[in-house]
Structure 1
Amino acid sequence: MSRAIVVDEPGVFRLVRRETQEPGRGEVRIRVAAAGICMSDREVYQGHRDADYVRYPVVPGHEWSGTVEAVGEGVDPALAGRKTVAEGFRACGVCERCREGDTNLCTRGYDETGFTLPGAFADHLTVPARLLHPLPDDADLRAAALLEPAAVIAAAVRAGASRPGERIAVVGAGTLGLLAVQLLAAHSPAVLTAIDPRESRAQQALSFGADEARAPEEAVAHAGRYDLVVETAGAPTTAQDACLLARRGGRVVLTGMFAPGAAGIDPVRLSLSQLTVRSVFGASSSAWADAVRAFGIGLLDPAPLITHEYPLERFGEAIALVGSGDPKAGKVLLRP
């Protein structure tokens, strides 16, 4: 038997028990070790996610790690027993976007583990074997559950094209922001500044490799200073703020998921300052490979971000904690 959290509709969930699914052709069954809860999962639970990007009833859980428990027909038997993570987007692999490497922008249509397809808030998860990114045998599966947000940040680092010796700012010191600090620190910046209104979070960024930690009101004095600004917060003004921090000819990468009504980016500043602005939606296969590689060689260590762990039976407590504003709450995991 296998347990899973099913969100039937916004605000309504149940813990179900059902027969363990056998993997089909080209699939593997994963024994889930840990699954992270992020604000997107809270949006699914509360009913705030865009209707085109969720399908009820759904088993949430798109940030996860586990071990291959069984393989289906046509899958290499050697994968059985391997620690692994996997991409969430179910890209077709043949459209123009996929052929160019942008598998997260597949034109076939949106399908993603934990949003429109069963996710990892469960004992077991079945996914196509082609999406797996196997991990080293000694990998910490608790930490590896954060490789999905790390892949998003790897995509942002690629988009930002950071170079050694540049001045870089990271706006937001949540999970994405602190992972960004870790990865960008490995690029040998001249200065790496973390910006967050929460002093404890901004200070935590120093232990992740930032040179400076500033509150937003302090950062205003450094407008036009940075070669690259990576925005990770998705707050109402952070896209606008990120563009103000960038120097003329600088680069801005937006990774936060913004709600309708967020402050717009001044087109006059864009044109006169000749800014390059990129956005990131999920992560391509190549960005996943970057994140897994960085994790495997120790450049990326998400473990210090984890503050709370709950069993499936306490999902209600766990989802309430995420986004509660509790200053002691970092990354929250479910441990089936």
Structure 2
Amino acid sequence: MTAARSVLVERPGAHRLVTADAPPVPGPGEVRVAVHAAGICASDREVYDGTRADGYVRYPVVPGHEWSGTVAEAGPGVDASLVGRPCVGEGFRACGVCERCRSGETSLCTAGYEETGFTRPGAFADHLVLPARLLHMLDDGADLTAAALLEPAAVVAAAVLRAAPRAGERVAVLGAGTLGLLAVQLLAASSPADLVAVDPRDRPRTRAAAMGASRAASPEEAAELHGRFDLVVETAGAPGTARDACLLARRGGRVVLTGLPAPGAAGIDPVLVAVGQLTVAGVFGAPPAAWAYATRAFRLGLLRPRALVTHRLPLASFGEAIELVGSGDPEVGKVLLEPRGDR
């Protein structure tokens, strides 16, 4: 068998490319996936910088929780017909037996946090081993480069399912990064009367308009729209965007928070929530229903994530890739590592 490489982050700021003599072997109930592409997001940068919250990373670790690939090997007890099929997969390693898991809320598993790419080996590698039950299969011939973004799309899908948008509503999306642009695409499918994307950067606002937003606004322009929206989906995770989302919502409106701000972010005014009778919900990760929704929307062409990819680099260029993600350059969108690109 061919050698298998992976990017190992030994500790914050220190990584190396590790080569094993052979790919990992899947155990009972597991599959080995040949990774086609793996996306790098801000949480991967947190792993590299050492700023991810305690308990949500375990060093040394192979990062990579956004990925696509092809099933290469089925372990004992797994349907052998899966081999050769394109797929993506859930990251949370939920126990499947606690009360929350039994209710379908696997992202709230009470057995403790375990996730591919943070506490378990991830997809910045030639191969990834994971439980077969976490797979979501794609159509033959699916665009696997685009499919690498189905993990953030599933998070957005969880937010949209929680938000329950209705046709004709006025909707705002705060942040036009990867999550925000995916949210714009999914929310556009609900036929809103108005869909406004808010971002301080010119290029993301332009991209949001091209992806289904009826208009785009800077934060200064959005300040004139306070109290206008039936639904607000916050995706930026900036220090003040949770507060700003609540200000944009009308009385009795709904707010869903998906961005993860750093400690010390501006709080939400409880008087505004109480007097405005707002419904505020948070999303962290994605349960199976959200994954199913995202993959179905991808199959139907309602999600078009390929346009968000700006950089595709080989596995050996992890150092360059992680610098791009942390650069703050508005021209940098989704950065992918493609293991097959340097074979």
Which range, TM-score by smaller chain?
over 0.9
Unmatched segments (≥5 aa) in structure 1 = none
Q: Determine which of 61, 72, 79 is the counterpart of 1:69.
A: 72
CA shift, 1:323, in A, is 2.4
The separation in 2 between residues aligned to 1:308 and 1:236, in whole angstroms, is 27
* One-letter amino acid matched to 2:271: V
CA shift, 1:280, in A, is 0.2
Q: Determine which of 163, 170, 182 is the counterpart of 1:179.
A: 182
* One-letter amino acid matched to 2:243: Q
1:1-336 equivalences in 2 (<5 Å):
1-18=3-20, 19-336=22-339
* One-letter amino acid matched to 1:164: A
CA shift, 1:328, in A, is 1.3
The separation in 1 between residues aligned to 2:211 and 2:327, in whole angstroms, is 24
Q: Note the alpha carbon deviations across 1:293-330, whole angstroms, 9 max, x for none.
A: 10011110100000001111111000000021112110
**How many pairs align?**
336
Q: Note the alpha carbon deviations across 1:146-165, whole angstroms, 9 max, x for none.
A: 00000000000011111000
Supply the RMSD in Å over aligned alpha carbons: 0.5
* One-letter amino acid matched to 2:26: P
Q: Note the alpha carbon deviations across 1:58-111, whole angstroms, 9 max, x for none.
A: 000000000000000000011000000000001111111111111111001100
The separation in 2 between residues aligned to 1:133 and 1:203, in whole angstroms, is 32
The percent identity for this pair of structures is 68
Unmatched segments (≥5 aa) in structure 2 = none
The separation in 2 between residues aligned to 1:200 and 1:146, in whole angstroms, is 20
Q: Note the alpha carbon deviations across 1:255-280, whole angstroms, 9 max, x for none.
A: 00111000000011011000000000
Q: Note the alpha carbon deviations across 1:109-161, whole angstroms, 9 max, x for none.
A: 10000000000000000000000000000210000000000000000001111
The separation in 2 between residues aligned to 1:327 and 1:48, in whole angstroms, is 22
Return the TM-score normalized by structure 2.
0.97
The separation in 2 between residues aligned to 1:95 and 1:235, in whole angstroms, is 33
Look up the SS of the partner of 1:176 in the other structure.
Answer: helix
Return the TM-score normalized by structure 1.
0.99
Look up the SS of the partner of 1:308 in the other structure.
Answer: strand
Look up the SS of the partner of 2:312 in the other structure.
Answer: strand
* One-letter amino acid matched to 1:320: E
The separation in 2 between residues aligned to 1:288 and 1:260, in whole angstroms, is 29
The separation in 1 between residues aligned to 2:290 and 2:332, in whole angstroms, is 27
Question: Do the aligned residues in 1 keep the contact of 2:69 with 2:86 (CA within 8 Å)?
Answer: yes
The separation in 2 between residues aligned to 1:158 and 1:100, in whole angstroms, is 16
